[in-house]
Amino acid sequence: MSNVGPHDPRDVTILGEPAASDRPADPGNEGKGEIHLVHMYPREMSIYGDLGNTRCLAARIRRHGYVPVVHQHHPGQPLPETIHLVVGGGGQDSGQVTVEQDLQRRADRLRALAAEGVPMLMICGMYQLFGRSFVTVEGKRVPGLGILDVTTQGNTTRMIGPVVLSTDFGDVVGYENHSGATVLGQGQDPFGRVRHGQGNNDSDGTEGAVTGHVIGSYLHGPILPANPRLADALIGWSAGLATGRDFEPEELDDEVAAQAHARQVARLLG
């Protein structure tokens, strides 16, 4: 039943994850079903703590009674045969250039997965690469996948600080740290509207982008532990794809996260 290859020595340790969580469950121990989660380029494109999103998703998948199978995708590897959820993080411009060729080789598969409704969360650098193009501050044009209709221009001035957004998932909090200024194409929905912070470009009041179940955002933090409702939306979509049934969530105790979220919103918005 496994379509998972041998352990890759390039895999990054995900704190809190069991050593065998990159393997399918033993027969009869799949719980409500297996959810195959792929983290794209954890070494090159997760330098701002975005690996915490993978940790959060795997932990919550397990707490909801499903079995996470966590794949780490590295340049030169094929993508796993089975994929229900994809995440990617931020990195330096050099990291984006490093993964560019591999990402283009996986482009058709990733576009097909997005069209099939596979949920994806792309943060910062990977958000930019899921757009139409990214132009580095030195003027090098890095083509994107075009899954999100956005274009990004690198700048010398960084946009840094805490953020509060209004989104379809309620208020979302996080921390932005990016020099790229992103512009949405005509008709492209933003992920959220900025209530505090700078967002895509510090001028139009938008943050991120969303198409179907694909979300791009500049919010680090990482974003998912601070916003459990968003995490469960991604898990719910992936659970439906994995099992063919509606998401069957458990009652989770998110009191600590809820208090932290509420205090952050109150502190920033007054």
Residue 64 lies in a domain: yes
Q: Residue 92 is part of which domain span? A: 34-269
Lowest mean pLDDT among 13-22, 188-197, 259-268: 13-22
Lowest mean pLDDT among 26-30, 44-48, 191-195, 252-256: 44-48
158 assigned to a ligand binding site: yes
- Asked whether the predicted pLDDT for residue 137 surpasses 90, the reply is no
pLDDT per residue as tens digits for the range 20-77 = 888 899 999 999 999 999 999 999 988 888 999 999 999 999 999 999 999 999 999 9
Residue 265 lies in a domain: yes
Number of domains in the chain: 1
pLDDT of residue 20: 83
Instruction: Please give the distance of CA 81 from its chain centroid, rounded to a whole number.
Output: 20
Residue 185 lies in a domain: yes
* Active-site pick, 74, 178, 213, 220: 220
Model confidence band, residue 3 (pLDDT cutoffs 50, 70, 90): very low
Model confidence band, residue 15 (pLDDT cutoffs 50, 70, 90): confident
Residue 19 lies in a domain: no
230-259: average pLDDT: 97
* Active-site pick, 124, 178, 213, 261: 124
pLDDT per residue as tens digits for the range 140-180 = 898 999 999 999 999 999 999 999 999 999 999 999 999 99
Question: Is 124 part of the annotated catalytic residue set?
Answer: yes
Residue 164 near residue 171 (C-beta atoms within 8 A): yes
Under 8 Å CB-to-CB from 262, ≥6 apart: which residues?
A: none
CATH code, 188: 3.40.50.880
Residue 176 lies in a domain: yes
Residue 194 lies in a domain: yes
Average pLDDT score, the chain: 93
Residue 223 lies in a domain: yes
pLDDT of residue 6: 54
Residue 100 near residue 142 (C-beta atoms within 8 A): yes
Please classify residue 227 by burial: count the beta carbons closer than 10 Å to its beta carbon, then call 0-12 exposed, 13-18 middle and 19+ buried: buried
Q: From CA 216, how far away is CA 206, in angstroms rounded?
A: 12
Residue 18 lies in a domain: no
